[in-house]
Amino acid sequence: MSALILAVLLAALDQTIVSTALPRIAEDLDGFDDIAWVSAAYLLASTAVTPLWGKLGDMFGRKRLYLASTSVFLTASIACGLAQNLPELIGARVLQGVGGGGMIVLTFALVGDIVAPAERGRYQGLFGSVYGVASIVGPLLGGIFTDQLSWRWAFLINLPFGIVALAVAARALPAATRGAKARIDYLGATVLAAIATGLVLVTSFGERWGWGSPAIIGLIAATVALAVVLVPVERRAAAPVLPPAMLGSRTVVFSSLIGFFANAAMFAVLVYLPTYLQIVHGVSATLSGIYMLPLVAGLVVSQSLAGRWAAHIERLRVILLAGLVANLAGLLLLGTIGAATGTLVLSLYFLITGIGIGMVPMVVLTTVQNSVPSSDLGAASAVVTFARSIGAAFGVAVFGTLLNTGFADRAHGLPTGGGFDAARPDTIGRLPAALRDTALDAFAHATALGYLWIAPTLAVGIVLALFLKPARRTGAEAGTPDPASADVEETARAA
């Protein structure tokens, strides 16, 4: 479990650790125009390959696939750290995303393999906490490495920890078991990867290219067409990447949609609250992370408690509803923040939001894993991970558009020139002191309004959760843990 946790931490960190290093990377590698691809390449690749890694793990054994994906990730990390130009770095980030996507989905599936159904919630909650904390810690580490050492260490730091995780996993994970022999569904995997590519490109570059531009409209049309084609392709496949029976399961579909909406809200909070703190309250990147500690505390504690409560399958829907309601309440409270909101009030709002964020991911994944046979654990985990990844990209893109549009509208009366751009909040500091307060009020209002617009997505999730019926699974069909789970339980008791 320690090796799996460390691997998830590294894979999750690499989704966000470069965000604060991008300006320095663009300067060193002379690539300002295409610097956004450094982040988008990792997200695109990790999302596109998630279903394939999950299915291959079902077919050929998750341990060997996990070791392979970790090796790819570490090799790509070396390539990222040694890149001499932007195309080399983007290519290495694609390869790193391929490995990172496999590490995350196979970890979740491995937990389903070695932990009994009644205990899955506790361990999935632990991994969910790691994922949430990494989303906040990543930008801080990226800034520290960039300022104190070099941006290259944001990638090279993976090596010592990754090698330890790889060695421990190779020795401690249970022997891989192969599923039924079947031909790999190359066509289905290709179509699904193309769908993921289209979704990530639309969400990552919609605002930059223009939501009404021919490129974005064409991508949306092509993605919808591929989604329609995917259904008959998977029905004809001998071993489909996404089994049609799974796609027809209300539990899987509703849980994945809830995961999509919850992750959209979560990443809108995790990505843009530090920006609000840095611009409106004038704190440093490091200090903004300290301000976010109440949110992290709420996330970690609620994940842990929800995991323990989820030992009884009947409680899963209650926990899910409680988490969604708390998350919705947190967003509505964040919809009231302004330039003068005090630290104590912000801390309370962050704590409530963190409690809501922490309860949802673990319950969604546990519910899906308990509803499918053991032979489909990898594919089921991949479906949820895929939906959550797309939700994260969607939430960041939509909130960014709402924020920039809202700020531009409120700052319309401010004078331009001198480096200030009403469409770019990061230029507020160039305004004269007499006008700066007006601009800060405009940015705070735009941030609050964005959270009010995102809140209805959680209301949709609550409605879906009301119709969700978590399955009760026992015995062999539930995936009775192998002998390795005894070690897991002993470790948990010792901890």
- Give tens-digit pLDDT for 106-147: 887 787 777 766 666 667 667 766 766 776 777 777 777 777
- Share the mean pLDDT of the chain: 77
Rounded Cα gap, residues 154 and 285, in angstroms? 16
Q: Does the pLDDT value for residue 478 go beyond 60?
A: no
Q: Does the pLDDT value for residue 379 go beyond 60?
A: yes
Pairwise pLDDT comparison (361 vs 424), residue with the higher score: 361
Q: Does the pLDDT value for residue 313 go beyond 60?
A: no
Q: What is the mean pLDDT of residues 50-57?
A: 78
What pLDDT is attached to residue 347?
Answer: 92
Rounded Cα gap, residues 41 and 204, in angstroms? 10
What pLDDT is attached to residue 314?
Answer: 60
Pairwise pLDDT comparison (102 vs 304), residue with the higher score: 102
Helix segments in 210-284, DSSP class H: 214-236, 244-247, 250-280
Q: Does the pLDDT value for residue 481 go beyond 70?
A: no
Three-class SS state of 365: helix
Rounded Cα gap, residues 105 and 386, in angstroms? 9
Q: Does the pLDDT value for residue 495 go beyond 60?
A: no
Q: What is the mean pLDDT of residues 396-407?
A: 81
What pLDDT is attached to residue 182?
Answer: 57
User: How large a percentage of the chain has pLDDT more than 90?
Assistant: 8
Rounded Cα gap, residues 75 and 57, in angstroms? 21
What pLDDT is attached to residue 151?
Answer: 81
What pLDDT is attached to residue 178?
Answer: 55
Rounded Cα gap, residues 472 and 357, in angstroms? 25
Q: Does the pLDDT value for residue 255 go beyond 70?
A: yes
Q: What is the mean pLDDT of residues 201-211?
A: 74
> What is the signed CA dihedral for 406, 409, 415, 419, rounded to 10 degrees?
40
Pairwise pLDDT comparison (440 vs 199), residue with the higher score: 440
Q: What is the mean pLDDT of residues 77-106?
A: 85
pTM: 0.73
Rounded Cα gap, residues 385 and 248, in angstroms? 18
What pLDDT is attached to residue 424?
Answer: 62
Q: Does the pLDDT value for residue 329 go beyond 90?
A: yes
Q: How far is CA 313 from CA 262, 371, 403, 414, in A?
A: 21, 11, 40, 56
Pairwise pLDDT comparison (290 vs 350), residue with the higher score: 350
What pLDDT is attached to residue 487?
Answer: 39
